[in-house]
Chains A and B, each alone.
Chain A
């Protein structure tokens, strides 16, 4: 009878995966992910691809907000940087999509670090407001720098080709995005086993104590902004290549809020929480619109107010999670596991 998971060796303590059940769940999950695209139709593949992109973006944001404790409302702006950089490099310089994606990630990392500079003097809600301002500034630059970004007009990105295969079809893109999401998750999980990641966590928990212990706040905060923005830029660049159309409307403040909601509902400071949150927030509006379509014949009014219902559900979900389970889906899943592990003596 176990009352919890306890480690008796350093090796076990440092392990990424702890228990047999955990490994088993990963194998099952992996097999499901591999089999899924062969049975799913286009609609579900599109959803899965959206979740994949959102997972990468949410993990990126979680590095900054969940692990380093720097609240950012600039996610939409940074995604815009990634998407536009990828699109412009591909269109104007004829770069292959993979090269433009890598460069876009690096460009976003630099821009992210640049807008992270205020974080050296500000924290908490002042930083949130400063990143909100960077979101507005980036979007303004995007919509007004006509010569480069095409202003308010959409950019059309040529289809990404790999060995003569079009990667932007739903089926092919599925493999691309989930491979990248897997790599991102693995890199991030491992990042927090290195001294860089631990420095980030130390800054989150107590920045002054962290500095006293020899962590250079300047360096690590900017590094956190850069690492986070790198993945956020990847999500942006992938959006550009997948959708093949880049418009500024996809990167407004609403996107920043959506991603914050993902990591809060999924679980702050948790890689798998980012995935849960990304899946939840992508599936919620989809499920609502399916329910709405099913109810259309019996309740015609549902059809006209469906967007409002989705918006209300979005707000309500955030409020309910924060009031009742601030640690998100990740914690709920843990509670469920604990319940069964301790059964019948759970208290």
Chain B
């Protein structure tokens, strides 16, 4: 029983982090129909920039976080303008490949600046162990859940209430109709990439806080795929629910079965979902069947 609670807690926190990484992914897909294979590298950059600001420049971490967010906005906008915009209307394989190329480039830039040795991260959230029903878990992991929930709330509010959010949904729905209503599609795409980069940076900083900064952070880029497919590629609640389900699945299979099954189980589930229900739990049923 104790193991079960321990695994559940760890799974929930892992899921929350996965959900944060998946949020930006879903956002980009929702606004521009682009699958971003560089999402993991956005996390990587977020983690390393916070590390650089706090550990190397010695800034207070709220300030460091703000600067990181500013950098993320710039990065998102630059990437959208220079890389993605020329590819509007190109076949899907080009768009997939360009984000893969981007991921390679971003990873190389990070390695050139910071090297590829893992680094200890100065914790901005203390990892004091908390005892819940006989299981112990670091406070920083619990914070990850809180932050994921807050982000979910913010995003939902943004999409339901704010003018930009509604415009973004309009663009996702029908670009031409959105254009004729006076919405600048280009601006919306830039917005989507910037916001995705922000959420990834926050996620990266959180993960870095828990496990330290290293190139491993970019592995999240691949781990979000089962999450977003399970939740539905264009659904924000889906990213959260999917993240938590996959997080739990990973820890349960890792804890009870072992043999590294936790690495592959999400992908087996992924194929299963794609075969049965390709639009996921909450996604829109617009997938074209062959």
Contact = CB atoms under 8 A, between A and B. Distances in A.
Interface of A: 65, 71, 118-126, 128-130, 132-134, 136-137, 140, 143-144, 207-208, 217, 253, 257, 260-261, 264, 268, 305, 307-312, 314-319, 322-323, 326
Nearest to A313: B108
B103 interface: yes
B97 interface: yes
Interface stretch (B156-164, B178-186, B240-248, B266-274): B266-274
B290 A207 contact: yes
B290 A316 contact: no
> B-side binding surface: helix, strand, loop or mixed?
helix
Contacts of A144: 259-260
A22 B88 CA distance: 36
A126 B278 contact: yes
A313 B235 CA distance: 35
Nearest to A133: B267
Contacts of A311: 104-105, 107-108, 111
Contact of B112 (A143, A264, A308, A326): A308
B97 to A, nearest CB: 5
Interface centre among B100, B264, B278, B289, by most A CB within 10 Å? B100
Contact of A308 (B108, B225, B275): B108
Given A129-B229, A133-B268, A118 B109 contact: no
Interface in B108-129: 108-109, 111-112
A166 to B, nearest CB: 37
Given A318-B101, A323-B83, A137 B268 contact: yes
A125 B87 contact: no
Interface string B252-270: 0000000110011001101
8 contacts: A71-B92, A71-B93, A124-B92, A125-B96, A129-B270, A261-B101, A312-B104, A322-B90
Interface residues of B, number: 42
A207 B290 CA distance: 7
A318 B97 contact: yes
B104 A129 contact: no
A121 B193 CA distance: 30
Given A132-B222, A133-B267, A133-B271, A315 B102 contact: yes
B219 to A, nearest CB: 10
Interface in B211-255: 222, 225-226, 229
A308 B110 CA distance: 9
A5 B92 CA distance: 31
B275 A118 contact: yes
A199 to B, nearest CB: 14
A314 B101 CA distance: 7
A231 B96 CA distance: 24
B287 interface: yes
Nearest to A324: B86
Given A71-B93, A308-B111, A311-B111, A319 B274 contact: no
